[in-house]
Amino acid sequence: MQEILLSSVVIGAIGAVLAVFLELADRFIANYGECRIDINDGKREFVVEGGGHLLAALGSQKIFIPSACGGRGSCGYCKVRASSGAGPLLPTETPWLTPEEIADEVRLSCQIKVREDIRIRIPDELFSIREYTGQVEKIEDLTHDIKEIRIRLLDPDSIEFKTGQYMQITVPEYGDVDESVYRAYSMSSNEYDTSHVEFIIRYVPEGICTTWVHRFMTVGEKVVLNGPYGEFYLRDTDRPIIMIAGGSGMAPIKGMLQKMAEDRNPRPAVFFFGAATVADLYHLDLMADLQKRIPDFKFVSAVSSPKPEEKWEGETGLITEVVDRLAKNVPDSEAYLCGSPGMIDACIKVLTNNGMPQEQIFYDKFS
């Protein structure tokens, strides 16, 4: 009994003495006051207690920089550009940085400490990648094998994204699928509707997510998503726009067109939409409406093999043939493509043959 008491007292006393030393040192020596962290030239600014690591300071503000090692400087993922206040380059950082990155002021945020006001730059999308919980509000049949689903966001209840980006949908366990998986889909809604996201999903036999959406999903069901991700969004230039999509590839284009309608964007735009038969075309009323609302917009649908009874009078042929026919000599235009890899590669060839530089072509390949 006495030994237990004695050991508690002695170990407690040793611990307490050391703790007092540390506390004093922390209070009087390691006092750096409040420091201001400025991200992307004022896009986000906050004040933290100085002395901690930058990665932790950002984490405390719910800005998540990728890091695999948990801040020990052994993975090299948590790179940020620090233009001032980060102090000299540390030897624990140099193994992870190339000479170009060092010249570009790239640093490891887990190694640098916040001791003064600091200015950093991070990719914009890191601000807004989060996990969202939503509820299916509407499931609409667009064709016999394509559905559009509309999800109301619950927690958080709004999202900031660039129209054309994609999210990952969490597919829960269902039927014979005994493991939850993620699948990425482009959002077909636009950034002005921050409380909802929409997706256009085509049924693929045996596809885990598409089967779930088409056969199992019901209105009112809770869905978990994360994002937004991706670089597929309308660039802010004055170039005429050529949009090309096939099947469910209309999703991001639809969002972009709705945004153009809201903005009353005066840029000339043409949207080539390809389908196999007339029955595979959809959102035709919406496109007709958008033609009225967007100052200079034309919708061209192309059917590759119309059935005789469908009495198709529009453009006939593969989407590439139609584009080649109608988009002659377009070196000054910008193209946005969304569809299967085969379709995109074929379209890029057609566009470059018609004089469009590669860097003016943006695309979102299904994979």
Partner 1 sequence: MVELNPFVIMFAAVFTNNILLTNYLGMCPFLSVSREVKASWGLGFAVILVMTATTTLNWLVYTYILVPTGLDHFWYIIFIIVIAAFVQLTEIIIEKTSPVLYVNLGIFLPLITVNCAILGASLFMIIRGYGLWQSTAFGFGAGVGWAMAIVAMAGIRQKIARSNVPPALAGPGIALIIAGFMALAFVGFSGMIQVQ
Residues in contact with partner 1 by CB under 8 A are: 3, 6-7, 10-11, 14-15, 18-19, 21-22, 25-26, 29-30, 72-74, 87-88, 90-92, 94-95, 111, 113
* Start-to-end C-alpha separation, the chain: 69
Task: Quote the least distance from Cβ 251 to partner 1, whole Å.
Answer: 41
Q: Give the Cβ contact number of residue 351 at 10 Å.
A: 25
CA distance 213 to 300: 29
- By CB atoms closer than 10 A (0-12, 13-18, 19+), residue 251 is buried
Nearer to partner 1, 53 or 196 (CB): 53
Cβ contact 166:184 at 8 Å: yes
H/E element, 271: strand 269-275
Report the distance separating Cα 104 and Cα 126, nearest Å: 19
| Closer residue to partner 1, CB minimum distance, 105 or 263 | 105
As measured in angstroms, the least distance from the Cβ of 7 to partner 1 is: 5
Question: Minimum CB separation from partner 1 for residue 101, in Å?
Answer: 16
Written as six digits, the tokens of 333 are: 């235009």
- Residue 338's beta-bridge partner residues? 245, 364
Q: What are phi and psi of 195, to 5 degrees?
A: -100, -5
* Residue closer to partner 1, measured from CB, 11 or 284: 11
Smallest gap, in angstroms, from Cβ of residue 104 to partner 1?
20
Q: How far apart are CA 215 and CA 213, in angstroms?
A: 6
Q: What does the block give as tokens for 89?
A: 């380059």
Comparing CA positions, the residue from 197, 179, 190 lying closest to residue 133 is 197
Closer CB to partner 1, residue 97 or residue 326? 97
Helix or strand holding residue 242 (H, E): strand 241-246
CB of 111 to partner 1, least distance (A): 7
To partner 1, the closest distance from the beta carbon of 85 in angstroms equals 13
Question: Among residues 71 and 317, whose Cβ is nearest to partner 1?
Answer: 71
CB of 14 to partner 1, least distance (A): 6
Nearer to partner 1, 19 or 288 (CB): 19
Q: How far apart are CB 27 and partner 1 at their closest, in Å?
A: 10
Q: Which residue number, 53 or 130, has a Cβ lying nearer to partner 1?
A: 53
Pairing of strands 269-275, 297-303: parallel
Q: Which is nearer to partner 1, 113 or 259 (CB)?
A: 113
Cβ of 185: how many Cβ atoms within 10 Å? 24
